[in-house]
Amino acid sequence: MRITRVGEHGLQLTRLGFVNCYLVREDAGYTLIDASLKGSADEILKATGTMPIKRILLTHPHVDHVGSVDALIAKMPDVPLGGSERIVPLLHQPPDKSLRPGETGPARGGLPGIASKLSFFVEDGDRVGSLLAISTPGHIHGHLAFLDERDGTLYAGDELATIGGLRITGWAPWWFPMKAFSDRATAKQTAVKLLNYDVRRYACGHGSVVEGDLAVLQQAIAEANL
């Protein structure tokens, strides 16, 4: 895994050149945001050095974000696993893709499920350590982003991508496959919602970290409106 520093408190762990998960340092240890692909557990643990992982947060249940959850929990059975209550049925094996009232479009993409159970739920406006949870549907139902309010880093999951510049995932380049999983209208509404937050840096599930304030996001929204 390639390790890249993110702002003042984060580390980006990149597998296969474009699949990211993140370690966010708190006083007592790390929060791990997402768990990359299967087979990544040992490299994730190696990246922590002497600091323990205190919790795991999931942005959403796609295969490249939950792949090593079970292996990590097997090695750290006391570490709590959190995510939106909405993704629980999507984590089942096989997943339950039933829609809830108000939702549009099916849940698409690789949903392998996990054996581990969420030990706590995180919803819009909740704070977990230094991270503010933000409900960010559009890529998939129950998607969350996390804003580190200490330095303005938005851990955006797959709501945004930085392959070919910062884009709303549904408007990423044609060769970026994850855009096919998005409900574009909802994803664009979510991007507009993110303009209400003090974002100074974008750390996404795919692509390099992008430095910049809300003007960068406004440009991505403008491109989606063309």
Does 179 have pLDDT greater than 60? no
DSSP letters, 72-113, are HHHH-TTS-EEE-GGGTGGGSSS---PPPTT--S---S----
What pLDDT score does 171 carry? 85
Is the pTM of the predicted complex or chain greater than 0.85?
Answer: yes
Q: How far is CA 38 from CA 41, 44, 64, in A?
A: 8, 11, 8
Contact in structure between 221 and 185 (CB atoms under 8 Å): no
What pLDDT score does 173 carry? 76
CATH number for position 17: 3.60.15.10
Does 174 have pLDDT greater than 80? no
How many CA atoms within 13 Å lie on the side-chain side of 54? 12
For residues 158 and 140, what is the distance between their CA atoms, to the nearest angstrom?
9
Determine which of 47-61, 154-168, 171-185 has the lowest per-residue pLDDT on average: 171-185
Q: How far is CA 190 from CA 71, 177, 201, in A?
A: 32, 20, 17
What pLDDT score does 172 carry? 77
Owning domain of residue 159:
2-122+130-224
Determine which of 25-29, 78-82, 168-172, 222-226 has the lowest per-residue pLDDT on average: 168-172
Span 23-50, average pLDDT? 97
Contact in structure between 119 and 20 (CB atoms under 8 Å): no
Span 60-79, average pLDDT? 98
- The domain tally of the chain equals 1
Does 180 have pLDDT greater than 70? no
* Amino acid at residue number 139: H
